[in-house]
Amino acid sequence: MNVPFMRTISFVLIMTFVSILGYANDNQLSNIEINSVYGRKLVVDMHDMHSTAQIILISGEGSAELLRVEAEGPAFAKQFDLSGLASGQYSLVIEYGIRELAQDIVLDEEKAFLKLKSRDIFIKPIVRQSNKDYVDLTMINKRIGSVQVEIVNSNGRIVYQEEIKNVLKVEKRYDLRKLSPDTYALVVKTPRKTYMDFIQNW
């Protein structure tokens, strides 16, 4: 076993975990503002941006993506007119870096209301493949829950699957040495959302 290499990997995992733990404890994104204005309109204002963000409007059931806008920095502001939508509940999600801001919205016949108490920050899983043999998964749940991990080959067949029950954080290393050369999808399913990253096995 290459001891210096393993120490380096362990250090990277620890620093990654410390970093995302700090993100998880921060329930605000101070450079992002969402405001309801006259009628059924919302304004999203972003500043001091260091990366591109995705602004997504999702139906109340979470089954349909109704709108997606790419926001590029260092500053971005846009008004969204929701007057063409039916009354009901929706979710506005802003994907920025490894964080996702989720804001519930209620539309009545005349106005859009922000449910501020339902605003929350979620942390995306971090997938790191340092070489062809191993891939590391690090993630933090906002609340204790179960996570399902799948590795899927290019033909859509699940070659590995596990359920990690009742966890707040996940730190796992997956051995790819027994897999055939291919491009695989590492799929992470949480109670809220499914994430996917692509990994290579040469």
For residue 61, what pLDDT is reported? 73
Residue range 31-122 forms a domain whose CATH class is mainly beta
Lowest-pLDDT choice from 25-34, 69-78, 116-125, 176-185: 25-34
Average pLDDT over residues 94-103: 92
Rounded mean pLDDT of 104-120? 91
| CB 66, CB 81: distance < 8 Å | no
Tens digit of each residue's pLDDT (9 = 90 or more) over 175-189: 999 999 999 999 999
Give, as one character, the DSSP assignment of residue 180. Answer: P
Selection from 147, 141, 136, 144 nearest residue 197 by Cα = 136
Domain span(s) for CATH 2.60.40.3080 in the chain: 31-122
Q: Would you state the pLDDT for residue 29?
A: 67
Q: What is the pLDDT of residue 30?
A: 74
Domain 125-201 in this protein, CATH class: mainly beta
> Where, residue-wise, is CATH 2.60.40.1930 in the chain?
125-201
